[in-house]
Amino acid sequence: MVLDAFDYPIELHAQEPGSRLVLGDGVYIGGGSSIEAVVSVTIGARSRLGSFTKVMDNHFHPLWGNRHFKPPSVPVVVGEDVEIGSRAILMAGAEVGNGAIVRAGAVITRRARVPPFGKAYGLPAVVDD
């Protein structure tokens, strides 16, 4: 496992007691990345995250009502051998299949499920099989 915090620090944050943040074997994480787990974030073996990526399983504020209320979390699952580009954002409920590619700057939400060996790019994300 390589956490490349040479230029910018990396934030791995399991926020509450019982939060699970699982990094598989041989995972590479680029500088400036931030992974925040309130319930569960899983990164499969040999996946690569570029620099300044953000992975979070909670939106932390609701779109309506009291904005200081934290909405429920949805686990994020990233498969094995996944390539995630720089500045990509994986939001609550994101699922990325084994061997998939998430291009730089893409934003993956629970609506855009990336199948195994699929490709995703853009905002809102476009997914190619």
CB of 118 to other proteins, least distance (A): 19
Please state whether the peptide bond connecting residue 124 to the residue before it is cis, i.e. omega within 30 degrees of 0.
Answer: yes
* Shortest distance, position 62 Cβ to other proteins, whole Å: 7
Q: Please, what is the Cα angle at 105 between 99 and 108, to 5 degrees?
A: 60
Q: What is the biggest distance separating any 2 CA atoms in the chain, rounded to whole angstroms?
A: 42
The CB-of-119 to other proteins minimum distance in angstroms stands at 17
Q: Is 124 a residue that touches other proteins (CB under 8 A)?
A: yes
89 binds other proteins (CB under 8 A): yes
Window of 17-25, 41-49, 63-71, 73-81 that interacts with other proteins by CB under 8 A: 63-71
Residue with tokens 């934030």: 11
Q: Are 24 and 80 in contact (CB under 8 A)?
A: yes
By CB under 8 A, the count of residues binding other proteins is 24
Task: Determine the interface stretch with other proteins among 16-24, 40-48, 54-62, 76-84 (rule: CB under 8 A).
Answer: 54-62
CB of 82 to other proteins, least distance (A): 18
**Region binding other proteins by CB under 8 A among candidate stretches 19-27, 83-91, 95-103, 112-120:** 83-91
What is the distance between the alpha carbons of residues 55 and 33, in angstroms, rounded to a whole number? 8
d(CA 47, CA 24): 8
